[in-house]
Structure 1
């Protein structure tokens, strides 16, 4: 029996062994290899596209460590939530067919849904303004029928009334997938195959199927302490929902990008809806379209999305004014494809390179004290629910459990500073960073007009001065 190896030693050796010295000749290769070693990434595929055309597709590291199989451009990765952009296009195809109405109540398609769901529309599902729970309160290892999984979601409390706010929800796209099946007669991935993948030449894009024999499929890995392990098993149901249960290669994604740039599959007015920010009360908007986050970089329009699922992480960023798209797919749960893709974009188009982040001068010490208390309370498992608004007790409990697992090993923060503030949607959003002995985390916290916490995101960043992300 082979002894377990520490993540740093084993993965450094694997990455170094999988990338010949002859390819270490340009800044992109140098950067990718260094980041893979630093973040202990087993394998990675990169695609760079300009004007809808693939200009670089490359694999790094290993798709399967146990069998020493390298990553190639045609290696298949689990998509995670970047798959939502495909589900959104499937829905818009059905809107164009007259089978779905963007502003029709979803109870027209799901009559068994609770009466409280009556104000929720297809549009609310597409742009995450439905108020549905973040995830179904089921078991990842249990198989469910569509109706059984829907019944679980039906019983969960809404976070807020439909259209009142924005909150990312996997349940939105899970429910949307069930509606797609009901109105079209097709499983959502079968509809994608017939009307998206095949027309665009995405030859290896497909639904996840763990029992099928699928050439070039990567294995997903998770870090348990200091040991690399295969990802935990989940049921076929958990790997079949429309929130991102797809296999994709970066070559498939390049063909998808060409379809977006060429505005294929949909009418121009449908593509325009996909890039439209979510509308909120009082003429406010939130920068999320149908399956895409929307933003700017150096004044240029930008679309982006990330995914994370079962030992895989993905990230895609599109810089529309520069006709540049970077896609990174990894087979691990610990890398940072977001930061990597944005950095690579800056190597390709120097004007997109972000400078170091710096704290805001003259910040109110009371604000940082409040964040310190919040972080300590989360790490200790005693964050007060009463301080939060527009989040159900179940979603709050799940969110706090995730953040506690992230923060409790770090100890108390040594330094906290404000790095930015803005108005997003209905909240005043402040961006803090907390420096620990061995880590830096970024805290994005949105305060409602009443002063309660309406949104919270806690995530690791590479360094205290790592470039800010929109």
Structure 2
């Protein structure tokens, strides 16, 4: 009979060997019970994935943008009910009724910047470029607060609000207020030409019988919606900070993990602040995925059961949510079979 470790390795087999890989973390009450790399972070140089390999998080980054806003709210530097135009007055009049709360919960109705960006751009878009695109869009998909539509635009604007309210850019604020205090030494909001990702995983996509590097796109430099790099070792420290008051107050964490709006997404009963929510009571799951060219990631947390699963991958397909759920079931089932190994 296979052990739990052998079953997990079997489930992760597609990521092992000379292929774009993955890093897997399973925490039980904050203690790693799986902490392992599979496959390669850099195919061209044959560098293996390890627990300290830094992957582009894509939309898993959003929870850190949220944390920055909540810290500034704790500081009294802003209010979640602030109109976004208080901080970004160049937005058109259609944005008058949009608050920071609407941006956090994807209920703003803002136009998706990906839908209005030029077909060809010189270099990469940044958060400030998103603002310039939205300045020309005096329209919304719906009245603020009346609907839900997942919005990268909203999180790019939140990054700029952090800059305005803190008088620091988002990358600096995150480094000084979150990453340094938590000892997340390899985590950063990556800015090409300004910062360097240590122990970096590069993104790939399948091409015929092999792989081609697809590490960056024209939107990869937008930080607020998905521009962070981190490792499973650093995300273990982040998970620990979500369990107590060392960074965010109980009230702030409750706001993040409360369903503020319903959604029509699978396995999502509601959206909080940078987290998707599913189930109730002991089965309550708070989670988020992150998908961008060359990377597919997911973090799953069952707070009442003390279980966290983080799966980071540097390939364009498949999305790892289902695999992470299957791995989680191995450990959730052990609560009812304590003799299992």
Same fold at TM > 0.5: yes
Normalising by structure 2, we get a TM-score of 0.87
Q: Where does structure 1 lack aligned partners over 5 or more consecutive residues? A: 1-22, 354-470
Q: State the Cα RMSD in Å.
A: 2.6
Residue 339 of structure 2 is matched in structure 1 by none
2:230 to 231, 241, 248: 248
Does residue 1:331 correspond to 2:311, yes or no?
no
Matched-pair contact (CA < 8 Å) for 1:41–1:331: no
Q: CA deviation at 1:226?
A: 4.8
- 1:207–1:240 contact (8 Å) kept in structure 2: no
Aligned pairs for 1:240-279 (under 5 A) are 240-279=222-261
Distance 1:344 1:162 in 2: 38
- Asked if 2 retains the 8 angstrom alpha-carbon contact of 1:219 and 1:230, the reply is yes
1:290 aligns with 2:277: no
**Residues 1:122 and 1:350: Cα distance change in structure 2 (over 3 Å):** same
1:72 to 50, 53, 68: 50
State yes or no: 1:55 paired with 2:33: yes
Answering whether residue 28 of structure 2 is matched by residue 28 of structure 1, we say: no
Query: Which has the larger Rg?
Result: 1
Conserved 8 A contact 2:124-2:217:
no
**1:149 corresponding residue in structure 2:** 130
Number of aligned residues: 324
Q: How big is the shift at 1:227?
A: 4.2
Q: Aligned residue for 2:182?
A: 200
Q: Which residue of 2 aligns with 1:321?
A: 304
How does the TM-score come out when normalised to structure 1?
Answer: 0.64
Q: CA deviation at 1:321?
A: 2.1
User: For the Cα contact (< 8 Å) 1:311–1:333, is it kept in 2?
Assistant: yes
Structure 1 residues 193, 213: CA separation in 2 closer, same or farther (over 3 Å shift)?
closer
The structure whose residues are more often strand, as a share, is: 1
Partner of 1:118: 96
8 Å CA contact retained: 1:41, 1:332: no
Counterparts of 1:83 and 1:214 in 2: how far apart (Å)?
15
Pairing of 1:213-224 with structure 2 (within 5 A): 213-224=196-207
Q: How far off its partner does 1:269 sit?
A: 1.0
How far apart are the structure 1 equivalents of 2:144 and 2:153?
14
Structure 2: give runs of 5+ residues left out of the alignment.
263-267, 337-341
Within 5 Å, which residues of 2 pair with 1:67-466?
67-136=45-114, 137-139=116-118, 142-143=123-124, 147-156=128-137, 157-211=139-193, 212-224=195-207, 226-231=209-214, 233-234=216-217, 238-279=220-261, 287-296=270-279, 300-350=283-333
How has the CA–CA distance of structure 1 residues 333 and 163 changed in structure 2, closer, same or farther, with 3 Å as cutoff? Answer: same
Given the superposition, is the C-alpha separation of residues 286 and 117 from structure 1 closer, same or farther in structure 2, using an over 3 Å criterion?
farther
